[in-house]
Amino acid sequence: MKVPVLPFERFLLHDEIVSYLKKLAAAAPELVEYASVGTSRDGREIPMVTITNKATGADQDKPAFLIFGNVHADELSGSQVALYNAWQLVKDHKDGGILDKVAFYIVPRTNPDGAEFSLTATGVIRSAVHYENEPLPNSITQADIDGNGMLLQMRVPNPNGRYAKHPKDDRLMTVRTDKTPGPYYDVFPEGLINNWDGSLELTLDGRHVDWNRNWTYDWRPEPQQWGAGDYPLSEPEIRQLVDFMTAHRNIFQVLSYHTGGRRILRAPSSGSDADVPHADLKQYKELANEMGEIFNFPVVPVYQYRNVGDPDLNLRGHFHNFGYFHQGWYAFEVELGQMCDEAEMYFGFDKTYKDFQMEVGWDDKYCHVLAWQDKNPDMPKAFVPWKKFNHPQLGPIEIGGPCPKVLRNHPMKRLKTISANSQKAVLKLAERHPEVTVSGLEVAAVGGGVYRIRGEVANTGVFSTGITSVGKGLNKFIKPRAELHLAKGVTLLSRRNCVQMGHLDSMDNWGSAVPLEWFVSVPEKVKTLGELKIIAGTGGTKTYKLRRK
């Protein structure tokens, strides 16, 4: 098996991701299946691969681990790290390895349209690229008006403008105070103005939906929650991903990649830790801390993913609350970091940042990034010098400034190290799958053609089949069930052919084994009595042949 090497020189376009995943599936058909989770608004496939050792069972019969990245358009690192996970899982496969027991569903680019916009144009975008039917008067539609292949910023001279050149670095714009010397400007995304009234009261057109505020749990509309969307799961890409999650009740673990300042994030996204039952919180923290050590990232609950001194966050319709409260998972997001982290300008908490904040203040962080870039010329350029341009509507302006997709991601070299760590973390989390097995299975003659079938069902994995205490209460995870399927001519003497169990905790976590016992009458010539099937969702589905001696 010759596994195609994952390109790691630059972020991949949608077609390149699809073609890489198809190549991976073609190189290892015994492990990889290419599929799609659905279709984006603009008609692109949302690519997915299923990775498991098919020889040891189908994906739906195994505990499954879902990884998805690049929900936010310019958080391209998420795609790359998820692709890295897929590549490594295939490349490192050995018999007896994790793919024998666990199936992985990997969706590297949840937002193909947004990522394509970010990659090909840069520009300002959070998630969706679609617009209202009619652009509002005085709104800007982003357009590459100077034809340099990038959507940057326009600085427009205005004596009453809200911005000025940064006193420490005149390449940067800063919000003016009464002490900032002029000249003053307004700063807008590069583009053309719809139905312009001649003023500089301009907005950016388009729908500023944040796909990580569009999940179902505790969804709130604008303005209570910025970016909420029209209603929960109004965004087709997120809705199709949720449909996939709901249809795959064997998923026991979910991990998503973003590119905020480096952190391991866990639930809750609103409220406080008191909202999480104690037993879950303890386990959740242990898992998060373990990941934090592997990545060498700090660990915080989402509601504390904020800068020093800021109030706690209260995110509605956020993935973590959905993943934990609506799906019952120990859901994780890894904020992989971005150019600021690379330049050691961390968000919040860190000592470095605290000191930095006291020294110069939050608004000035990009000065440091720019200074750091000047000293590291091999790094991707996050700022484009301002250039004079004659705007067809605004007249003489300048175009240039920060390049969002570069600022929002790490340089590829660093991302490779982070990806290698992510692989270790994924494997660590994957080991914790529930596993429901039957031990001591025996078929014994009791005389007169009657046989007794006995065995014991137990969860020999780590997580409960209901994963969390929240999960055990949801009607989502399949409760283990033992079914006897008898061969022709074999008669059941016991009352029922199946045993419905409640969720099984692992034996390492005070779980208990469930004894099975059936009596059957078997004609002389029948050697195989039938099959015992254990259907356990996150704990897998297993079939045992029942033979008499």
State the residues that interact with Zn ion by CB under 5 A.
72, 75, 258
How far from 473 is each of 206, 438, 468, 476, 513, CA to CA, in Å?
40, 25, 9, 9, 20
Nearest to Zn ion of 75, 235 (CB atom): 75
Residues in CB range of 195: below 8 A, 6 or more apart: 135, 136, 137, 138
Nearest to Zn ion of 74, 218 (CB atom): 74
Q: Give the integer Cα–Cα distance in Å for 344 and 376.
A: 13
Shortest distance, position 75 Cβ to Zn ion, whole Å: 5
Shortest distance, position 548 Cβ to Zn ion, whole Å: 59
Nearest to Zn ion of 88, 259 (CB atom): 259
DSSP state of 370: H
- Residue number with the shortest CB distance to Zn ion? 258
Q: Give the integer Cα–Cα distance in Å for 348 and 365.
A: 12
Q: Give the integer Cα–Cα distance in Å for 386 and 190.
A: 12
Shortest distance, position 78 Cβ to Zn ion, whole Å: 8
Nearest to Zn ion of 258, 433 (CB atom): 258
Nearest to Zn ion of 319, 477 (CB atom): 319
Shortest distance, position 410 Cβ to Zn ion, whole Å: 14
Nearest to Zn ion of 72, 109 (CB atom): 72
Shortest distance, position 258 Cβ to Zn ion, whole Å: 3
Residues in CB range of 519: below 8 A, 6 or more apart: 446, 450, 451, 452, 453, 492, 493, 494
Q: Give the integer Cα–Cα distance in Å for 258 and 81.
A: 10
Shortest distance, position 39 Cβ to Zn ion, whole Å: 22
Shortest distance, position 110 Cβ to Zn ion, whole Å: 10
Q: Give the integer Cα–Cα distance in Å for 545 and 533.
A: 9
Q: Within a 10 A sphere around the Cβ of 279, how many other Cβ atoms?
A: 11
Residue 547, both tokens = 């033979």
Helix, strand, coil shares, percent, the chain, to 5: 30, 30, 45
Compute the residue count for the chain. 549
Q: Give the integer Cα–Cα distance in Å for 293 and 352.
A: 19
DSSP state of 537: G
Shortest distance, position 460 Cβ to Zn ion, whole Å: 37
Nearest to Zn ion of 88, 338 (CB atom): 338
CB 504 within 8 A of CB 480: yes
Nearest to Zn ion of 84, 188 (CB atom): 84
